[in-house]
Amino acid sequence: MSYHFGTGPRAKSWPYLMLAPAVILYLVLALGPSIATSFFSATDATGLPGLPIHFVGLENYREFLTLGARAQENINAIFRTLVFCIAVTTIQFTLGLFVALLLNQGLRGTRFFRTLFFLPVILGVTIQGLMWTLFLYPLGGPLQTFLNLFGMESLFLGGQPAEAFAWVIVVQIWSNLGFTMVIFLAGLQTIPEEVYEAARIDGASRWQAFKSVTWPLLTPAVNTNLVLTIIGSLQAWQLFLVLTGYRPGTQVMGYLVYAEAFGRTTGSTTVNSFRQGYGAAAAIILFLIVLAIGITTQFFLRRREARLTG
Amino acid sequence: MRRLIVLAASTAVAVTAFAGSAAAQDPVTLRVLVHQNPPFVGFMESFNDQFEASHPDIKVDMAVVNANELMTSTQTRLMANDVDVIDIFAFSNAAQPYMQNTDPPGWQSLIDAGLLMDLTDQPFVANYDPASIADAGTYNDKVYQINLGRVGFSGIYYNKDLLAENGIDLPTTWSELVAACETLTSAGVPCMTAGGGDGWPIFVGAYGLLGADFPDQEALVEGLWTGTIKYTDPEWLDLLGKYQVYSRDMMEPGASALPGDGAPGRFASGAVAMFPGGTWYGPAIEGLEPAFDWGYIPFPGSDDPANNQYMFGKYDQGWAIAETSSKKDAALTYLSDFSEPANYQAFVDAVGPIPTQPGATLETKIGQELAPYLENFRLGFELLWTPPKGAGQFAAPPLVNMFQPFGTFDDPQAAAEQAQADLDSGLSAIQ
């Protein structure tokens, strides 16, 4: 496809002029802050105007990755981030596909359920966190009351890191499932009915039709969903802030960046210090992890797409 | 046509004159940032109404944030030049000479950055106790904050009726407290609750246990920093054992996830017998159930009653003014009015801190309960400790959050070894 911008001497510059606003916005709002974060990660910046900023080289990275027991906790947070990513991506992707396939059958009530599944997406993180905090309320909350009927109890978000972490995974999936579902639904609706008809004439079972028709033709939606879910879960932090706060054994990298930069790592209201240079180093480490995983994922997904589409 | 022009011109003149007069009467909007504490916020709302009535040219725009987020909000709003008067927790945690490789506390960074106004020569500073100004508002010989009061955070609220109904005398030692909780629990009455969901509230009672075993908390901080005190010492192992009993056996199920604001209400409802909490909860409990009969004592953490006489606490909130504010006159008027003895007394009556104005008295219920222990009031560990960089998350007391159900440990020896390793990793990183 080509576009024509006239034939005059200035015609060649029109595309660049029209792209300029978007490029400038990207430079100012996205690339600029990213470059500034890289710069600050090599300083002792506090984030407060008026204080001198000193260049400290790679000291923040050394401290984050190697200094004392805190470094081990940071490395644990990196592994926890990967576990969170794998759990969320696997479950959200599978459930989203399953729900989309169900809602694509043209059954009664499809619109209602489509709205129901998508509803959490439009709620803010604070509302989502508040709803689940109330749902999991330990003294007379709905889920606790239900468990008590069977003589069971759970502390949900309190105390036990593994349990609290598992619940954040549940809430993350619940809050984003609708988005995954909608992308899959859009993909499913682009597949022509004739292809299924041809498969049926050839004697294909429902599973064979899914495997040989739906799955290959859904590749763009699969790729989009995988990339978005992987990157989104690697960067997740707001739900951790709202649901667990700074608790030993529940931090992921996204939350750690916030906690380090804004002095929220002690669990105390009086012990605070501002370390935005150190927080920036943590952000760059997270960025490198997201970049590495994102590029690798894209590489394999594109290779798969090329193989399927010939 | 001429008539139309005259009409249009006179309308324009009238509109301009009206707009001009409205602009002249536009009040200055004073932006005030405070932390969430229902009695305090309630008082501030009525004070703001009174202030606006006295100063029609000033309008107060007060923002309320969770206490955990106060410093973060302060930083971001100062950077954006979006705040004039700041509620800031008291100055504390300055590094001692024997401490190395530490980060400066947030308040110190704010002053070093020139973001807080020097209040040294303001007349209202003289309304406050000079010791509180020196200890909790002065840095490099200049006053940057007026401190509004001290609070105790090592005490325990108790329900008089529930103790009496279960034939329990007020516990004065650790053994008596353990026995009282066993009696209550076997009678189906939860012994204690805490707002563990917010993290820090479980520390509050634990500071009482810590204080009973280590009444000289400055010596404890120095001992831990210099290595003369270790978490694996017998005295600490004994204390960690008490922490385990406190968190596992004394706390009601669910306390580790209960929101901080929910705990005083649960105690006031009569559902639990005791509530380890700071003195700032007193007005809230009183406000929720005015007829409820409760008392407040230092945490009986030791088997020697003489060690249970201390109330540990801190200088709590205070007022500061943003140096970058363009409304300093209005901000100074605000603090000056607040500092008027009658207004300050109203604040003390509503919020219940131990006053820092010499003429003010604490007449509230919590004030009466606290009065016998004021002689033995000491600054608590939280205000004295600064961690070394690189130290692990369990490097500093009270360590109660290590134990189940608040944490994962169920063995005091293992917890002691982990805590010491976390501290040692920070101390050994000092170059």
CATH number of the domain that A205 lies in? Answer: 1.10.3720.10
B199 or B16, greater pLDDT = B199
- Tell me the mean pLDDT in the region A124-136: 89
Q: Supply the pLDDT for residue B6.
A: 52
Encoded tokens for A71? 């470094």
Q: Global pTM?
A: 0.81
Indicate the residue of A50, A70, A272 with minimum beta-carbon distance to B71: A272
Nearest residue in chain B measured CA to CA from A136: B257
**Strand partners for B62:** B32
Rounded CA separation B217/B382 (Å): 10
Residue A239 belongs to some domain of the structure = yes
Closest CA to B314 of B104, B126, B89, B116: B89
Pair (A65, A29) in one structural domain = no
The verdict on A211 and A150 lying in the same domain is yes
- Tokens, residue B291: 């007829």
Interacting residues of A44 by C-beta distance below 8 A, sequence separation 6+: A53, A54, A56, A60, A275, A277
* Helical (H) or strand (E) element with B382: helix B381-384
What is the phi/psi pair of residue B137, to 5°?
Answer: -155, -5
- Chain A: give the shortest CA distance to residue B170, in Å: 27
Q: Which domain holds residue B47?
A: 26-151+315-378
Mean pLDDT along residues A48-59: 88
**pLDDT value for B389:** 85
For residue B265, give the CATH number of its domain: 3.40.190.10
Higher pLDDT, B303 or B26: B303
Which of B340, B355, B378 terminates a domain? The answer is B378
Among A269, A275, A276, which would you mutate to test the B interface (most chain B Cβ atoms within 10 Å of its Cβ)? Answer: A269
Checking if the pLDDT of B12 tops 70, the result is no
Integer Cα distance of B175 and B169 in angstroms: 13
- The nearest CA of chain A is from the CA of B11 a distance in Å of 43
| Residue B229 belongs to some domain of the structure | yes
**Dihedrals phi, psi of A26, to nearest 5 degrees:** -65, -45
Mean pLDDT of A58-75: 91
Count of domains observed in chain B = 2
CA–CA min distance A264, chain B (Å): 8
B18 domain residue, yes or no: no
Q: Are residues B406 and B257 in the same domain?
A: yes
For B196-345, strand residue ranges (E) read 274-276, 294-298, 311-315, 317-321
> Same domain for B134 and B56?
yes
Minimum mean pLDDT among A294-298, B21-25, B54-58, B314-318: which range? B21-25
- Which residues neighbour B281 within 8 Å (Cβ) at sequence distance 6 or greater? B157, B263, B264, B275
Per residue, the 3-state secondary structure of A22-64, as one string, reads HHHHHHHHHHHHHHHHHHHCCECCCCCCCCCCCECCCHHHHHH
Domain contains B261: yes
List alpha helices for B55-105, DSSP H. 70-79
Closest CA to B249 of B301, B172, B185: B185
Residues B117 and B212 in one domain: no
**pLDDT per residue over B228-255, tens digit each?**
999 999 999 999 999 999 999 999 988 9
Domain for residue A270, yes or no? yes
- Of residues B103, B110, B426, nearest to A48 (C-beta): B110
Distance CA A158, CA B198 (A): 9
- Collapse the DSSP code of B147 into the 3-class scheme (helix H, G, I; strand E, B; otherwise coil) and give the result: strand
- Please state whether beta strands B28-35 and B58-65 pair in parallel, antiparallel, or not at all (unpaired): parallel
Within a 10 A sphere around the Cβ of B211, how many other Cβ atoms?
A: 28
Highest mean pLDDT among A106-115, A124-133, B235-244: B235-244
- Percentage above 90 pLDDT, chain B: 59
Count helices and strands in chain A by DSSP H and E runs: 15, 0
Report if residue A11 sits inside a domain.
yes
A98 vs A105: CA distance, rounded Å: 11
A52 in a structural domain: no
Examine the domain organization and report whether B405 and B370 are in the same domain.
Answer: no
Between B398 and B232, the more confident residue is B232
Identify whether residues A117 and A218 lie together within a single domain: yes
Averaged pLDDT score across all residues of chain B: 89
Residues of A in contact with B254 (CB under 8 A): 138-139, 144, 153, 155, 158
**Do A259 and A231 sit in the same domain of this protein?**
yes
pLDDT at B9: 55
pLDDT for B237 equals: 97
Q: What pLDDT sits at residue A159?
A: 67
Q: How many domains does chain A have?
A: 2
Of A235-239, B325-329, B379-383, minimum mean pLDDT range? B379-383
Cα distance between residue A85 and residue A204, in whole Å: 36
Task: Look at B201 and B294; give whichever has higher pLDDT.
Answer: B294
Q: Assess whether A98 and A230 both reside in one domain.
A: yes
Question: What's the start-to-end Cα distance of chain A, in Å?
Answer: 21
For residue B403, the chain A residue with the least C-alpha distance is A159
Using alpha carbons only, give the angle B367, B161, A148 rounded to the nearest 5 degrees.
110
Residues B302 and B320 placed together within one structural domain of the fold: no
Verify that B133 and B205 share a domain, yes or no: no
Interchain CB contact of B340 with A (< 8 Å): no
Q: Which of the residues B116, B193, B200 would you substitute to probe the A interface, choosing the one with the greatest number of A C-beta atoms within 10 Å?
A: B200
Q: What chain A residue is nearest to B36 in terms of C-alpha separation?
A: A269
Residue A245 has pLDDT above 80, yes or no: no
For A209, the token pair is 């039709």
Contact criterion met (CB < 8 Å) for B257 and A270: no
- Residue B20 — very low, low, confident or very high, per pLDDT cuts 50/70/90? very low
Residue B53 shares a structural domain with residue B133: yes
A101 within some domain:
yes
**In this structure, are A223 and A127 located in the same domain?**
yes
Taking residues A141-161, what's their average pLDDT? 80
Q: What is the mean pLDDT of residues B141-163?
A: 94
Radius of gyration of chain A (CA): 24
Provide the pLDDT confidence category of residue A176 given band limits of 50, 70 and 90: very high
Cα-to-chain-centroid distance, residue B285? 16
Decide if A179 is inside a domain.
yes
Answer whether residue B23 shows pLDDT above 50.
Answer: no
Is position B87 within any domain? Answer: yes
Residue B321 has pLDDT above 60, yes or no: yes
Does A101 share its domain with A227? Answer: yes
CB < 8 Å from A in window 28-57 of B: 35
Q: What is the mean pLDDT of residues B106-111?
A: 86
The amino acid present at B168, given as its one-letter code, is: I
Whether B14 has a pLDDT exceeding 90, the answer reads no
Give dist(CA B377, CA B154) in Å, integer: 10
- Whether the predicted pLDDT of B157 surpasses 60: yes
Q: How far is the alpha carbon of B422 from chain A, nearest alpha carbon, in Å?
A: 6
A150 and A295 fall within a common domain: yes
Select from B314, B382, B422 the Cβ nearest to the Cβ of A69. B422
* Structural domain containing residue A135: 58-309
Q: Is the pLDDT assigned to residue B210 strictly greater than 70?
A: yes
Residues B104 and B118 in one domain: yes
In this structure, the answer to whether residues A234 and A290 fall within a common structural domain is: yes
Query: Over the stretch B257-312, which tens digit does the pLDDT of each residue have?
Result: 888 888 999 999 999 999 999 998 998 898 898 999 999 999 999 999 999 999 99
B398 and B262 within one domain:
yes
Q: Flag whether A50 is in a domain.
A: no
The position carrying tokens 């971001």 is B76
Give the gap in angstroms from C-alpha B374 to the nearest C-alpha of chain A: 22
Question: A247 to chain B: nearest residue by CA?
Answer: B199
B40 plus B162 within the same structural domain: no
Predicted pLDDT at B180: 97
Same domain, A140 and A32: no
Q: Are residues B67 and B202 in the same domain?
A: no
CB hemisphere CA count around B170 (13 angstroms): 15
Same domain, yes or no: A35 and A177: no
B311: which strand partners? B377
Mark whether A220 and A288 lie in a shared domain.
yes
| Structure tokens that stand for A153 in this block | 């109890």
Q: Identify the top-confidence range among A81-95, A231-245, B62-76.
A: A81-95
Q: Is residue A45 part of a domain?
A: no
Q: Does B17 have pLDDT greater than 60? A: no
Query: Which of B35, B73, B92, B103 should we substitute to test contact with A (largest number of A Cβ atoms within 10 Å)?
Result: B103
- Per the CB < 8 A criterion, the answer to whether B280 and B316 are in contact is yes
Task: Find chain A residues with C-beta within 8 A of B114's C-beta.
Answer: 50
In terms of pLDDT, which residue wins out, B357 or B374?
B357
Q: Is B78 within 8 Å of chain A by CB?
A: yes
Closest partner residue to A69 among B105, B385, B392, by Cβ?
B392
* C-beta separation of A301 from A308 below 8 A: no
Residues 167-206 of B with CB under 8 A from A: 196-200, 203
Report whether A242 contacts A126 (CB < 8 A).
yes
Amino acid in the structure at residue B386: T
Q: Among B143-152, B184-193, B381-390, which stretch is predicted with the lowest mean pLDDT?
A: B381-390
